[in-house]
Structure 1
Amino acid sequence: MNKGELVATIADSRGITKVQAERALNIVLKNMAEAMERGERVTLVGFGSFKVVERAAQKGRNPQTGKAITIPAHNVVKFKPGKRLCEKVQ
């Protein structure tokens, strides 16, 4: 499911327009991203939680040349599924 399909599903299930559904979804995603930028964990009970963690610098290889490179430390978003989500997809 992509964002357009999600917006259509929200609109159909709530009886609102796709524009209203997309606006609401964008607000939710924006607030989640801003919270993670501040270093906060975002938890949606039953669905899962998102948090930002720092990935340490590591060694890698350039696939075109085979030359060894150092990949610098950087932040990544980690997702941990909630119990109910895990039960639904089993």
Structure 2
Amino acid sequence: MNKKEIAESIYRKLEIKRFEAYSFIDLFVEAIVDCLESGEKVVISNFGTFKVVDRKKKKVISPKDNQSMVIPERKVVKFLPAKNLKETVRGN
């Protein structure tokens, strides 16, 4: 499902204008990004948690030329699904 499909679903279920559904998605994503940028985690009940974690640097071997390389330390976004979301996806 992509942004357009999500907006269409919101548009139909809430009976709002299409541009309002798109605006809602944009504002929702913007709020999540703003929180993550400031180091906060984002907890959405019954869905999951987004948080920024530090990945340590690591040595890897390039599959192209078998050369050793170092991937530097960096920040990444991690999503931890809520228990009920995991159970729903599993079919429990």
TM-score normalised to the size of structure 1?
0.94
In the other structure, the counterpart of 2:35 is: 35
> What is the count of residue pairs matched by the alignment?
90
Whole-angstrom CA distance in 2 between matches of 1:37 and 1:61: 31
Q: How does 1:9-28 map to 2 (within 5 A)?
A: 9-28=9-28
In the other structure, the counterpart of 2:48 is: 48
Aligned-residue offset at 1:86: 1.6
Q: Percent identity?
A: 34
User: Root-mean-square deviation (CA), in Å?
Assistant: 1.0
Aligned-residue offset at 1:61: 2.2
Whole-angstrom CA distance in 1 between matches of 2:23 and 2:39: 25
Aligned-residue offset at 1:22: 0.7
TM-score normalised to the size of structure 2?
0.92
Aligned-residue offset at 1:47: 0.4
Whole-angstrom CA distance in 1 between matches of 2:66 and 2:15: 55
In the other structure, the counterpart of 1:59 is: 59
In the other structure, the counterpart of 1:80 is: 80
Q: Which runs of 4+ in 1 moved over 4 A?
A: none
Aligned-residue offset at 1:76: 0.7
**Amino acid aligned to 1:61:** I
Unaligned runs of 5+ in 1: none
